[in-house]
Amino acid sequence: MCGIVGYIGKNPAQSILIEGLKRLEYRGYDSAGIAIYNQEDINIMKTKGRLANLEEKLDGNHLEGTIGIGHTRWATHGAPSDHNSHPHASHNDKIVIVHNGIIENYMELRDELIEKGYAFKSETDTETVSHLVFDYYKESNDLFEAVMKAIKRLEGSYALGVLCKDNPEELIAARKDSPLIIGKGDGENFIASDIPAILEHTRDIYLLENGEAAVIKRDSIEIFDMEEKTVEKEIFHVDWDIASAEKGGYDHFMLKEIFEQPQVVKDTLLPRLTDKGVQLDDINLNKEDLDKINKIYMVACGTASYACLVGKYLLERVARVPVVAEVASEFRYREPILDENTLVIVVSQSGETADTLAALRMAKDAGARVMAVVNVVGSSIARDADDIFYTLAGPEIAVASTKAYSCQLGAMYLIAAHIAILKGKMSMEEYKELKDELMSIPDKIEKILDQQDAIKTLAEEYIAAKNVFYIGRGLDFAVCMEGSLKLKEIAYVHSEPYAAGELKHGPIALIEDDTLVFGIVTQEELNEKTISNLKEVKARGASIITIALEGNEKAKKISDHVIYVPRTHWMLTSILANIPQQLFAYYVSVGLGHDVDKPRNLAKSVTVE
Ligand code: G6P
C-alpha cells in the first residue's frame, strides 16, 4: 500500500519526510516523492523507483522549508512512472496532495473536471482530487472547506495529506477506509499512514477514524467529523518498538495480511460491480471475441493455481466454455493445443513468476489471447498480457499468500460472471443476486475473522498432528488444495488435499486413529456425499474438523469440531471457507515456533525455473 508522511514544524522537512518514508519501505512501493513549501512555492520532487533514486535527485536540489508531504506509491491506476508518482498538484500548483486508497468514481469526476477545463498530467485517480480541491478552493479561498467539499464527492477509500500555497501554515488530513494517523510533537506535528514513519519523533498519536479530517498547524491539531463538528480524541501513547509497529501491532505480517482481507477484497470487488454488469476497465474481450473462443486454459503456480481451479469450476458451470486449469511448469512443456480461438488466463500475485511468464509468452506466440490476473501493476506479466484484471490486494510481504489469494478468488468470480453475461448464459436477475452477495463478502470475512480465538484453540489442540487430510468436492476441493498448501508451507506439516470421492481409491488406507481430516462442506448439492466420506474416515478413527455453512447440523454431528462460515451464493463460498484454513495454518506454525513470514526453503517470488 502507499505510504504517507507529512510534517509541519520548525525543522527542515526534507530529511524528516525522507527518513519517514524509509520507515514505510516495508509496505512495498514502486515510486516516491515529496513536496515542500519554501515561503513562495510548493516544490515537488518525485520519481519512479526506490527512495535512493529520489535522494539522488534531491542531491544538489535540496528542498528548503519546514512544511511538507511525502509519499511512496504502490501503483493501482496507471503504471509506475515519474508522472504518476505523488505528490500531485492542481494545474497551477496551488494545491498539492498525497493520497493512499482508491477513488472509485474518479472517471466520472475526471470527465467533469476535464469539461471544466482542467488538464490532467497523469493516469492516476489521485490527480482528480487535487483538481477537485482546487475547484472548490477558488470559490472560498478556505482550504479546509474545500477539502471537506471535495471528500464528500469521493467514493472509495482515501487517506489524504493536502498542502496549499496560499495557506502555508496548515496541513489538512482526511481519511476513509485507508489508515492515517497524526503525531503530536512539541511545536511540530506529523501525519503518516503508519506509526513507524514518525516513531522517531513522537509516541503520542491520534488515530483518525473513518470520515474524520484534521487541520494541523505547528502548535495545534483540530479534528472534525464529516459535519465539521469538532471531535475530541484521546492520545494513543505508543510503546511498541519499530519492528512491531511495522506489523501494525500484529505478531506477523501474515496475520496482519489475513486481517486486511475485508478491506482489500472490498477494494477489488466493489468498484467493478455496476447495476449493468461487471465493469472491467482493462479487459476488452467482447461478445464477438468470445464467440470465437472454444477453449480456455487457466495457468499459474502455487496458490495462484488454486485460484485457477476455482475459476475453472465456475467458468465451465456458468459460462459453459471448456476450461483446463493447469500449473504453468507443466503447461509450458507439454505442447498444449493453442491457437487464435484459445483464451489463456494467467494468474500471478507478483506478475514475475518465471513459469507463468513463460506460459504466457508461449500462448501469445501461438496466437492465443492472454488475460492476466495480476497484483503488481506494471509487472512483466501485466505488460505482456492482452487483457488485465488487477487485484487490489496491495503489497503482500509474508511469503505465504493470503490476501492476494482472496483477491484472486474475487477476480475469478467477476471474470466468470462477466464472461457468462457476455455469452448470454447469465441473466441480469442472476447477476443482481450474485452482485448483492458479492457486496456482502467483506463483512462475512470479518465475521469469520471474529472466530480467531476459537481457531487458535483448535490449532493448539491438533498441533502434534503429523498427517492431515483436506477433503471436499467441487469448489470445496479447490479450497482443500489451498488449505493443505498453507499447512505445508508455513507449519511444515505433511498434508494431502483429496477430492472426497477419490479417498476410497487409495488414501483411505492411510487413515488411522487420530489422523486429522478437514472436511470442507459448502456446496449444498454435494454435502451429503462429502458427509458420507467423512463418516468413512470417522469409522477408521480420524478426528474431523469441518468447515461448513451456518446451520449445517449434519456436518456438526459427524465432526469433532465445526467451524461455521456465513451462508452465501454457491459461487462464492471458497473465499469464506478458506479463511479458517489460513488462521489454522498460521497458529500451528506459531505454536511450532516456525518463522511464519519467511518459511524455510521458500521465496515470495520465484523468478527462475
Ligand atoms: C511462490 C510463492 C507462492 C505463490 C507462487 C506463485 O511459490 O511462495 O505464495 O503462490 O510463488 O506466485 P505468483 O506471484 O505468480 O502468484
User: Do the Cβ atoms of 364 and 384 come closer than 8 Å?
Assistant: yes
User: Do the Cβ atoms of 77 and 109 come closer than 8 Å?
Assistant: no
Q: Classify residue 509 by its DSSP letter.
A: G
- Element (DSSP H or E) covering residue 151: helix 143-152
CA of residue 456 to ligand 1 center, whole Å: 26
Query: Which CATH number do you get for residue 382?
Result: 3.40.50.10490
Residue 102 pLDDT greater than 80, yes or no? yes
CA angle 307, 312, 314 (to 5 degrees): 95
- Element (DSSP H or E) covering residue 584: helix 573-591
Q: Are 528 and 396 in the same domain?
A: no
Ligand 1 probe mutation, 379, 604, 608, most atoms within 8 A of CB: 604
Active site (annotated) includes residue 2: yes
Q: Report helix, strand or coil for 465.
A: coil
pLDDT tens digits along 355-406: 999 999 999 999 999 999 999 887 889 989 999 999 999 889 899 999 999 9
Of 400, 417, 448, the residue at which a domain comes to its end is 448
Q: Are 337 and 304 in the same domain?
A: yes
d(CA 308, CA 522): 19
The pLDDT of 146-168, averaged and rounded, is 95
Residue 237: pLDDT band by 50, 70, 90 thresholds? Answer: confident
β-sheet with 494-499: strand ranges across = 494-499, 467-472, 516-521, 543-549, 561-565
End-to-end CA distance of the chain: 29
The pLDDT, as a whole number, for residue 408 is 98
Range in 167-171, 376-380, 487-491, 519-523 with the lowest mean pLDDT? 376-380
d(CA 271, CA 285): 19
Q: Report helix, strand or coil for 233.
A: coil
Q: Are 359 and 414 in the same domain?
A: yes
Residue 608: pLDDT band by 50, 70, 90 thresholds? Answer: confident
The pLDDT of 482-498, averaged and rounded, is 97
Ligand 1 probe mutation, 253, 298, 301, 377, most atoms within 8 A of CB: 301
Q: Are 189 and 134 in the same domain?
A: yes
Enumerate residues 6+ apart whose C-beta is below 8 A from 302.
353, 401, 485, 606
**pTM for this predicted structure:** 0.83
Range in 23-37, 209-223, 465-479, 547-561 with the lowest mean pLDDT? 23-37
Q: Are 283 and 146 in the same domain?
A: no
User: Do the Cβ atoms of 33 and 42 come closer than 8 Å?
Assistant: no
Enumerate residues 6+ apart whose C-beta is below 8 A from 85.
31, 32, 33, 46, 47, 48, 71, 73
Examine residue 160 and state whether it is found in any structural domain, yes or no. yes
Examine residue 600 and state whether it is found in any structural domain, yes or no. no
Query: Which CATH number do you get for residue 126?
Result: 3.60.20.10
CA of residue 284 to ligand 1 center, whole Å: 27
The position carrying cell 488466463 is 345
Instruction: Kindly list the distances between the CA atom of residue 198 and the CA atoms of 100, 125, 177, in Å, as whole numbers in the listed order.
Output: 17, 27, 21
The pLDDT, as a whole number, for residue 592 is 97
Residue 325 pLDDT greater than 90, yes or no? yes
212 forms bridges with which residues in the sheet? 175
d(CA 30, CA 50): 7
**Closest ligand 1 atom to 353 CA:** 15
Q: Are 203 and 237 in the same domain?
A: yes
Q: Is any atom of ligand 1 closer than 6 Å to the C-beta of 350?
A: yes
Examine residue 606 and state whether it is found in any structural domain, yes or no. no
Q: Is any atom of ligand 1 closer than 6 Å to the C-beta of 191?
A: no
d(CA 322, CA 107): 35
Examine residue 567 and state whether it is found in any structural domain, yes or no. yes
Q: Are 318 and 444 in the same domain?
A: yes
Examine residue 18 and state whether it is found in any structural domain, yes or no. yes
The pLDDT, as a whole number, for residue 239 is 76
Instruction: Kindly list the distances between the CA atom of residue 439 and the CA atoms of 31, 213, 283, 397, 433, in Å, as whole numbers in the listed order.
Output: 32, 27, 21, 27, 10
The pLDDT of 562-591, averaged and rounded, is 98
d(CA 59, CA 492): 48
Percent of the chain with pLDDT over 90: 87
CA of residue 347 to ligand 1 center, whole Å: 10
pLDDT tens digits along 503-513: 989 989 999 99
d(CA 258, CA 403): 6
Q: Are 43 and 143 in the same domain?
A: yes
- pLDDT: which is higher, 605 or 578: 578
Q: Is any atom of ligand 1 closer than 6 Å to the C-beta of 353?
A: yes
Omega before 395 within 30 of 0, i.e. cis: no
Q: Classify residue 181 by its DSSP letter.
A: E
The pLDDT of 525-549, averaged and rounded, is 95
The pLDDT, as a whole number, for residue 1 is 64
Instruction: Kindly list the distances between the CA atom of residue 609 and the CA atoms of 301, 328, 332, 358, in Å, as whole numbers in the listed order.
Output: 11, 10, 11, 10
Q: Cβ-count burial of 462 within 10 angstroms (0-12 exposed, 13-18 middle, 19+ buried)?
A: buried
Residue 552 pLDDT greater than 70, yes or no? yes
Of 226, 245, 264, the residue at which a domain comes to its end is 245
Residue 94 pLDDT greater than 80, yes or no? yes
495 forms bridges with which residues in the sheet? 468
Examine residue 597 and state whether it is found in any structural domain, yes or no. no
d(CA 371, CA 47): 29
Q: Are 92 and 240 in the same domain?
A: yes
Q: Classify residue 103 by its DSSP letter.
A: B
Residue 240: pLDDT band by 50, 70, 90 thresholds? Answer: confident
CA of residue 75 to ligand 1 center, whole Å: 20
d(CA 457, CA 251): 17
Torsion of Cα atoms, 477 then 478 then 484 then 487, to 10°: -140
**Closest ligand 1 atom to 376 CA:** 14
The pLDDT, as a whole number, for residue 109 is 96
Residue 244 pLDDT greater than 80, yes or no? no
* Number of domains making up the chain: 3
pLDDT tens digits along 254-312: 999 999 999 999 999 999 999 999 999 899 999 999 999 999 999 999 999 999 999 99
Q: Considering only CA atoms, which of 340, 347, 382 is closest in space to residue 363?
A: 340
Q: Report helix, strand or coil for 430.
A: helix
Sign of CA dihedral 462, 464, 469, 470: positive
Q: Are 413 and 492 in the same domain?
A: no
Active site (annotated) includes residue 604: yes
Q: Is any atom of ligand 1 closer than 6 Å to the C-beta of 402?
A: no
**Tell me, what amino acid is at 578?**
N
Q: Report helix, strand or coil for 303.
A: helix
d(CA 91, CA 165): 13
d(CA 55, CA 507): 59
Minimum CA distance residue for ligand 1 atom 2: 604
Q: Are 275 and 216 in the same domain?
A: no
The pLDDT of 408-417, averaged and rounded, is 98
Q: Which domain holds residue 38?
A: 3-245
CA angle 164, 181, 58 (to 5 degrees): 55
**Tell me, what amino acid is at 446?**
E
Q: Is any atom of ligand 1 closer than 6 Å to the C-beta of 302?
A: yes
Q: What share of the chain is helix, strand, coil (3-state, %, to 5)?
A: 40, 20, 35
Residue of 2, 308, 407, 480 marked catalytic = 2
Q: Report helix, strand or coil for 421.
A: helix
Examine residue 605 and state whether it is found in any structural domain, yes or no. no
Examine residue 596 and state whether it is found in any structural domain, yes or no. no
The mean of the pLDDT values for the chain is 94
Residue 243 pLDDT greater than 90, yes or no? no
* Total residues found in the chain within this entry: 609
CA of residue 607 to ligand 1 center, whole Å: 10
Q: Are 294 and 418 in the same domain?
A: yes
Question: Can you give the C-alpha Rg of the chain in angstroms?
Answer: 25
Minimum CA distance residue for ligand 1 atom 7: 302
d(CA 493, CA 479): 18
Of 404, 420, 448, the residue at which a domain comes to its end is 448
The pLDDT of 418-422, averaged and rounded, is 97
CA of residue 354 to ligand 1 center, whole Å: 10
